[in-house]
């Protein structure tokens, strides 16, 4: 795959994938037919069957095995040199565990093994990476190392344990809201065409209640620190229990990207490279607990009036606040944290609504295949033939439905981490800023990947790369855009995503 590089200030490398891949050995079978389905809903009778099956105790475990077998058939001649493993790794003395599916290839027992670890985002499980299992097919081509690719169920999700976090303020149904900002906006109604980067409105000004903001900071700092310990220590305990000295490549998406990044600055000696796929929570903003705008305000001043910015590295950035309505905010705090627990109680109707949400997302890969020149231009192995087929799409959605409807403590925990604008109260920008300030010599390569149509703030990711490189004497951070991808870029365009990860892991992205 051809790569063009654009050198930016502060040595950020922005990589756009502009051409077709190199010549491939794989030939698409003559009987292969492209999928042209456009399913938006499934019959109620089918929903009833799916719902009934979901009531079986071991259904998710069964679906996990079915999904792995579909995406990476064990009886395929092509896959016989790849060993797969299903296991649950104990991570503490209480018996909590991390569920894992791994694929490994051994070229030579005398070679060292590179460990690539995938951590998924919120509302998912390891099976959301089903279209990325094929990364091992690409890595088989590199004979300089042995490889083991680990796909994990993040703590509280899927078949991993769902332990309670030891903090009395986070295990309640009531979630403390982010401090309200009084907005001054003379441009109402909002003209969508005038929004910056599609989601951000620059209004006239806003006000912060100083006392309310300081109470908010004191309430959330302990919670956020406990959440960080909860997730990062679980990952590190998994690493140690798995006998891995250092994670060679830690790959995290969205919510999993946030905790993977947090892990990297908390345990920098235990990993070598970080790959973030559209991570949530990079940007600074007005409701961040790290916002020091009110720190030096005299006690006599109760309200501070400020001029906003659309710069995602500024504490005056209002994110989506100016365009969000009260209905969204109410749903964020009082419905969304509990919806997954009620999903199964909604019966077949709940199944139908969940499928409506996912079908179009998974089926659009067929439009991508057609746009990029068809299967013969994109497919690299027989494993790719299943992409976008009805069987693949239906199985992935059923797997995800059974995963999310189990309920997770993170349904509530994530609302303590994020604001209704889907930004973190403790921005990754500040975590990395503090890390490189306090440990200037302790650096590792960081790769940030976003989709072409990503709703996450890609500008914040690019500016984070600038920040990291400005603190380094060599290029440490790289920024990538995946064509035709959205927030779920690894699902939308697995061909490009897998290729980028392969080139990062094998070092071919630097050549």
> CA–CA separation, 55 vs 46, rounded Å?
15
Residue 16 has a pLDDT of: 53
Residue 235 has a pLDDT of: 99
> CA–CA separation, 252 vs 258, rounded Å?
7
Phi, psi of 28, rounded to the nearest 5 degrees: -65, 130
Distance, C-alpha 148 to centroid of its chain:
21
Mean pLDDT of each 10-residue bin along the chain, 511 residues long: 37 49 70 81 94 96 98 94 97 98 96 98 97 96 96 98 92 86 95 94 96 95 98 99 98 99 97 98 98 86 94 98 95 93 94 95 95 94 95 97 94 96 98 88 90 97 95 86 98 98 88 49
Residue 15 has a pLDDT of: 55
Residue 427 has a pLDDT of: 99
> CA–CA separation, 167 vs 296, rounded Å?
30
Buried b (16+ CB within 10 A) or exposed e, 137-165: bbbbebeebbbbbbbbbbbbbbbbbebeb
> Pseudo-torsion of CA 244, 248, 253, 255, nearest 10°?
50
pTM: 0.94
Residue 293 has a pLDDT of: 86
| Helical segments of 192-346, H only | 210-241, 254-266, 326-334, 339-343
DSSP 123-191: T--GGGGGGGTTHHHHHTT-TTSEEEEEEE--TTSTTS--PPPS-TTTSSS--PPPPPEEEE-SS-S--
Query: Is residue 116 within 8 Å of residue 251, measured between CB atoms?
Result: yes
Residue 11 has a pLDDT of: 46
Residue 12 has a pLDDT of: 52
Residue 4 has a pLDDT of: 32
Residue 10 has a pLDDT of: 47
Residue 14 has a pLDDT of: 56
Does residue 435 sit in helix, strand or coil?
helix
Domains of the chain listed by start with CATH number: 3-175+224-280+329-510 (3.40.50.1820)
Structure tokens at 400: 């995800």
Structure tokens at 237: 């305990």
Residue 440 has a pLDDT of: 67
């Amino acid at each position: 795959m051809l790569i063009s590089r654009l050198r930016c200030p502060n040595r950020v490398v922005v990589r756009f994938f502009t051409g077709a891949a190199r010549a491939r050995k794989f030939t698409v079978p003559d009987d292969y037919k492209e999928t042209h389905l456009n399913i938006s809903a499934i019959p109620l009778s089918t929903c009833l069957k799916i719902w009934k099956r979901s009531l079986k105790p071991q259904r998710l475990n069964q679906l996990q095995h079915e999904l792995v077998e579909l995406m990476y058939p064990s009886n395929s001649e092509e896959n016989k040199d790849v060993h797969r493993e299903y296991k649950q790794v104990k991570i503490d003395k209480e018996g909590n565990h991390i569920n894992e599916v791994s694929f490994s290839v051994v070229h030579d027992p005398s070679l060292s093994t590179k460990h690539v670890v995938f951590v998924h985002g919120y509302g998912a499980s390891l099976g959301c990476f089903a279209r990325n299992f094929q990364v091992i097919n690409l890595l088989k081509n590199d004979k300089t190392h042995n490889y083991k690719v680990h796909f994990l169920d993040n703590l509280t999700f899927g078949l991993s344990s769902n332990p309670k976090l030891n903090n009395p303020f986070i295990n309640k149904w009531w979630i403390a809201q982010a401090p309200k900002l009084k907005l001054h906006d003379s441009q109402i109604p909002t003209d969508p065409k005038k929004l910056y980067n599609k989601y951000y409105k620059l209004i006239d000004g806003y006000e912060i209640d100083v006392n309310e903001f300081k109470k908010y900071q004191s309430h959330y700092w302990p919670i956020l620190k406990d959440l960080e310990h909860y997730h990062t220590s679980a990952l590190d305990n998994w690493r140690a229990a798995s006998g891995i000295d250092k994670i060679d490549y830690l790959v995290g998406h969205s919510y999993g990207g946030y905790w993977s990044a947090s892990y990297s600055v908390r345990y920098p000696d235990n990993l070598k490279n970080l790959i973030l796929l559209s991570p949530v929570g990079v940007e600074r903003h007005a409701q961040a607990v790290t916002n020091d705008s009110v720190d030096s305000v005299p006690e006599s001043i109760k309200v501070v009036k400020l001029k906003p910015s659309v710069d995602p590295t500024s504490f005056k950035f209002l994110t989506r606040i100016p365009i969000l309505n009260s209905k969204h905010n109410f749903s964020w705090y009082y419905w969304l944290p509990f919806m997954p627990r009620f999903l199964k109680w909604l019966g077949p109707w709940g199944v139908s609504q969940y499928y409506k949400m996912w079908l179009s997302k998974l089926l659009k890969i067929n439009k991508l295949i057609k746009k990029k020149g068809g299967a013969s231009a994109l497919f690299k192995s027989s494993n790719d033939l299943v992409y976008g087929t009805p069987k693949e799409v239906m199985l992935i959605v059923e797997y995800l439905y059974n995963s999310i409807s189990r309920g997770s403590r993170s349904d509530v925990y994530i609302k303590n981490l994020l604001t209704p604008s889907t930004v973190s109260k403790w921005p990754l920008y500040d975590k990395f800023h503090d890390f490189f300030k306090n440990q200037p010599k302790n650096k590792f390569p960081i790769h940030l990947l976003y989709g072409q149509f990503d709703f996450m703030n890609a500008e914040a990711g690019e500016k984070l790369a600038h920040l990291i490189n400005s603190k380094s004497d060599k290029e440490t951070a790289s920024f990538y855009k995946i064509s035709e991808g959205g927030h779920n870029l690894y699902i939308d365009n697995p061909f490009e995503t897998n290729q980028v990860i392969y080139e990062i892991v094998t070092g071919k992205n630097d050549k």
